[in-house]
Amino acid sequence: MKAVIFDLDGVLVDTAKYHYLAWKKLAAELGVNLTEKENERLKGVSRMDSLKIILSLGGLTFSEAEMNRLADRKNSWFVEYIDQMKPEEIFDGVFPLLNALREAGVSIALASSSKNAAAVLKNLLLENTFDTVVDGTMIKESKPDPEIFLKAADNLGVAPNECIVVEDAEAGVEAARRAGMKAVGIGHTEQLGEAELVVDHISKLSYNRLKSL
């Protein structure tokens, strides 16, 4: 284990909730009831891919210009939520884990499909915490494509099989596996069963637990 690559939304902080609330509001306007179960498919994928999933749930088709407008509308609500965020919202257990990894000489990376990741990191005062950050503005394909994790490993100069990914999204666990990395799921085995280890909260992870993988 030379590096641990962390997802952001739903792993370090509960921004997954804000994505869900904003998508649910947009879906409702379109006459689609977005349930928490269906929302699992939206986690980790790009903004446009998320919108396309919602439109397919409702059997709806829109022009590209209309889809851009809808995605912008969702994003404006999401940005209102994250503008209010404070460092206290970082999940318990995050700093002890990051510090233990650092002390052991393990690199730490952040890899988020979100184009808002830089703003979230800034509001949480985490902008200088990671050895490398790869976000939605830096990749061509979002999760479940492995590009984001491979880019993070490349930036760190480590091989994919020396990395462990920490993810709350099914698409993220798949991306890790396709990158040739081990994955730890934060959530339920129902969605994240392909991961090497699934825990319900990041506070359950320790340096030793990750190393034992």
Closest to Mg ion by CB, 9 or 174:
9
Q: Does 43 bind ligand BG6 (CB under 6 A)?
A: yes
Question: Collapsing DSSP states into helix, strand and coil, what is residue 165?
Answer: strand
Residue that the structure tokens 């998508």 belong to: 23
The one of Mg ion, ligand BG6, none whose footprint includes residue 114, by CB under 5 to 8 A per kind, is ligand BG6
Q: Which of 9, 135, 145, 168 is catalytic?
A: 9
Q: How far is CA 2 from CA 127, 150, 177, in A?
A: 21, 14, 17
Residue that the structure tokens 């990741």 belong to: 117
For residue 96, whether the previous peptide bond is cis, meaning omega lies within 30 degrees of 0, is no
Q: Does 68 bind ligand BG6 (CB under 6 A)?
A: no
CA R_g for the chain = 17
Q: Does 112 bind ligand BG6 (CB under 6 A)?
A: yes
7 catalytic residue (yes or no): yes
113 vs 23: CA distance, rounded Å: 16
Q: Does 169 bind Mg ion (CB under 5 A)?
A: yes
Closest to Mg ion by CB, 168 or 170:
168
List the x/- string, 144-163, binding to Mg ion by CB under 5 A: --------------------
Closest to ligand BG6 by CB, 111 or 207:
111
Check: CB of residue 39 under 8 Å from CB of residue 23: yes
Choice from 113, 129, 132, 191 touching ligand BG6 (CB under 6 A): 113
CA 101 to chain centre: 20
> Under the rule (CB under 6 A), what is the footprint of ligand BG6?
8-9, 16, 19, 42-47, 50, 75, 112-116, 136, 169
